[in-house]
Structure 1
C-alpha cells in the first residue's frame, strides 16, 4: 500500500464548527528494537521491530477543534492541566506533516488536553502513546467527515499518521504483538504503518506480566529522536540492522513453540545491543544509571538461584521493564518489592496485552 492511499480528498466536507474528540492510547514495549531511520522527517525504519502494548501505561488526549475565523492557525497544548509551550514545536511539526493527508485540519484551531499515567520523556515511550492518541483523535474527526470509513482503514491511517509524529507511535494503535517495518518473513509488514502480528503465538506469550522499575523519572538529556540520527554514521550500524532482522526470525519461531527462556534471553540481548549502539555512537552517551545495572545483576542472580522465568528489557532510558509469565506473578512480585524496590523511585505494575 502506498502513502497516496491515505489522502483525504473530499473538498466539500461538512463538520460542526466546534467539537471535541478524545482517545486513549497505550505505551508499547519493543522486544526487537527499532533504532535508526532513513529520514528523520518521514520516519522510515532501518530495521523491523515488534512490540507489546502495555496495559496500565497510557496517555489520554482530548482534542478540541474550533473552525477558524482568520487565516492564522492556533494550537494550544495542556499537559496535566498546565499549558506546555515546550511541547508546541513537535506538535506543530506533526500537524504540518499530516495536513498533507488530512487537509480538513487547515480549517480549524485546536486545543490539546493530555495526561499520562507515567513520567513523560523518561524512556517509557511517552511519545509513542501521546502521538498515537493524538492521531486517533484526528481520525475521529475524519470519521465525522466520512461516516463510511471502515475500521481497518481507520486504524491503518491512524498508524500511518502516528508514525509521522513518532516512529514507534505507529505500534501503539493496536493491542497485542505489533510489527512495524518491512520484514521478508512477516506477511503484510511494511515501513508506512504497523500491523498486528499475523502468526501463531503460544499461550504463554498471551499472559505476560510487566513490572516497570522507575530508576529515573526526569526527562532524558538526549531524546530518542537525536539518538536515532547518530545511527547515520555509526560504525556498527549495518551489522546491527542485520542482527535485528535475524533476531526477528528467531522470535517468530520462539513465539510459536513457547520457549520462555529463549524469549527472555533474546529480549535481554536486544536491550543490551540497543544500549551498546548508544554507548558507541559519536557523540557517545549513557542512558543507564548505576541502579539500572544493580537491577540487572540482581535479576540475573535471582534467576540463576530460583529458576524463575523473569527477564528484563530496556528502552531508550534508564528504567527497567521486567517480563515474566502471569502464572508466576505471586512469588515474583513479592521478590521485586523486597529486593529491587530500594533501587528505584517507583514501581508500576502493568501487563502486556
Structure 2
C-alpha cells in the first residue's frame, strides 16, 4: 500500500489570515492563490501491517509524528483495514520562511495517503482533508489560480480551481531571509484575531477583494490583478502592526525590495508585490517582463536571492523511479 505524490507551493494573492475554527482549520475569509512551479514537496507513504507505529522522515532525517499521526488518522477512519505508516518527505522549499512550505507539504502528504490508502477521494474532497494539515494546503491540490472557499462547515470549506493562469503570468521571489521565522503563522494569526482592532475590517475588505480579483482574472486584466494583490497583502500586514503586542515580519531588505517594485512601476513596468508571513517579497509579474525586472533587482540583490517561478501544476502522482530521482536531486543539493 504505497502512494507517492508531488505538490507545489502556492502564494496567496487574496490572503488567508485567521481561523474561525482552530480544530477544523476553517478560515475567517475565503482566499485565492497562484500555484508556483519553483517550489514543491515529494512525499511517499507506505502503509504496512508489520509496522507498530507511524514513522516520519523529512529530508532523510527522522522527525516526530506529532502532526503526521493525527493527519493520517483522518484517512484511517475511512480505511477498511487501517495500518500504521512510514512517511518520507523531501521538501524542495525553505521550511518556515514564509514560502508556503506547509502548503506543498500537506498537499503532497494528502495525495500520497489518498493513493496508498486506496480511498481515491476526488480532488475537492481531498482538499477538505489537506486543509486539516495546513489551511493553505487546500489550494496546492490544483494548479494556476485557485480559490479556497471558506464554506460553512468542514465538508464544504474546499478548493475551487479558477483559471490555469496560462496568460503570461509569473512570479519572482526575492529571498530576504531563509531562516525559520521567530513568530509562526499560526501564532501570528491567533494574536491578530484576538487583539488587532483592524482585524474585522480586514475580513470584510478581503471578501470584496476576492470578488474583484476573480473578475480581473476572468477579464485577463493583469494590472487590476496586480493592484488588488498588493493592496490585499499590505492590508494583512497592517493588521499585525495593530496587534497587541505589535509584530512585523519586515526586515531592512524587505523595505528595499518594496521600494524597488514601486520604482519599477514608476518606470512603466507592471510589477506588484505580495508577502506571506515572513520577510520574503514575491513579485507578481508577466513572463515577458522578467528580464527587465531582474536587471533592476540584480543591482540590489545577489542573483542567488532572486528565484523565477512560472505557474505550477496540480498535485500529481509519481512513480518509484520518479521518487528515486527526487532522492538523488535532494542529495545533490546538500
TM-score where L is the length of structure 2:
0.85
Equivalent in 179, 191, 200 of residue 147 of structure 2: 179
Q: Check the 8 A contact 1:215/1:345 in 2, yes or no.
A: no
Give the structure 1 partner of residue 316 of structure 2. Answer: none
How far the C-alpha of 1:97 sits from its partner, in A, is: 4.2
- Tell me the distance in 2 between the aligned counterparts of 1:264 and 1:232: 26
2:14 to 32, 46, 50: 32
**Aligned 8 A contact 1:98 1:164 in 2:** no
3-state SS of paired residue (1:197):
strand
- The answer for the alignment partner of 2:115 in structure 1 is 140
**Equivalence map 1:38-187=2 (5 Å):** 38-68=20-50, 74-85=53-64, 88-100=65-77, 102-104=78-80, 107-143=82-118, 149=120, 153-182=121-150
Confirm or deny: 8 A CA contact 2:96 2:181 kept in the other structure.
yes
User: Are 2:254 and 1:272 equivalent residues in the alignment?
Assistant: no
Q: Name the CA distance, whole Å, in 1 between partners of 2:62 and 2:245.
A: 33
- Contact 1:66-1:108 at 8 Å conserved across structures: yes
CA-CA distance at 1:192 after TM superposition:
2.1
Residue number in structure 1 paired with 2:222: 260
Deviations 1:180-218 (A, max 9, x none): 12489xxxxx852111117xx8x7x63212111111111
SS in 2 for 1:322: strand
SS of 1:74's equivalent?
A: coil
* 2:184 paired with 1:223: yes
- Deviation (angstroms), 1:266: 1.3
Alpha-carbon distance between aligned partners in 2 of 1:245 and 1:23, rounded to the nearest angstrom:
32
Give yes or no for the alignment of 1:335 onto 2:269: no
Q: Which runs of 5+ in 2 are unaligned?
A: 313-334
Separation in 2, partners of 1:32, 1:183: 16
Q: Is the 1:68–1:107 Cα contact (8 Å) retained in structure 2?
A: no
- How far residue 67 of structure 1 moved from its aligned partner, in angstroms, is 1.1
Aligned ranges for residues 13-32 of structure 1 at < 5 Å? 19-32=1-14
- In structure 2, C-alpha distance between the alignment counterparts of 1:284 and 1:113, rounded to whole Å: 38
CA contact under 8 A between 1:183 and 1:245: conserved in structure 2?
no
Contact 2:26–2:150 (8 Å) recurs in 1: no
Please, what is the CA RMSD of the aligned residues? 2.3
Cα distance in 2 for residues equivalent to 1:121 and 1:237? 24
CA contact (8 A) 1:207 1:352 kept: no
1:5 is aligned to none
Q: Secondary structure of the equivalent of 1:41?
A: coil
CA distance in structure 1 between the aligned counterparts of 2:246 and 2:75, rounded to whole angstroms: 33
How far does the alpha carbon of each residue in 1:202-244 deviate from its partner, in whole angstroms, 9 at most, with x for none? Answer: x7x6321211111111111211122222243232222111100
- Conserved? CA contact 1:216–1:345, under 8 Å: no
- Give the match for residue 192 of structure 1: 157
Would you say the 8 A contact 2:264–2:293 is kept in 1? no
Give the match for residue 262 of structure 2: 300
CA deviation profile, 1:4-35 (whole Å, cap 9, x unmatched): xxxxxxxxxxxxxxx32210000001111011
How far, CA to CA, are the matches of 2:299 and 2:214 in structure 1?
A: 33
Show CA shifts across 1:234-264 (max 9, x none): 3222211110001112112222333322222
Size of the aligned set, in residue pairs, is: 309
Query: Rg bigger for which structure?
Result: 1
Q: How far off its partner does 1:345 sit?
A: 6.1
Cα drift, residue 90 of structure 1: 1.7
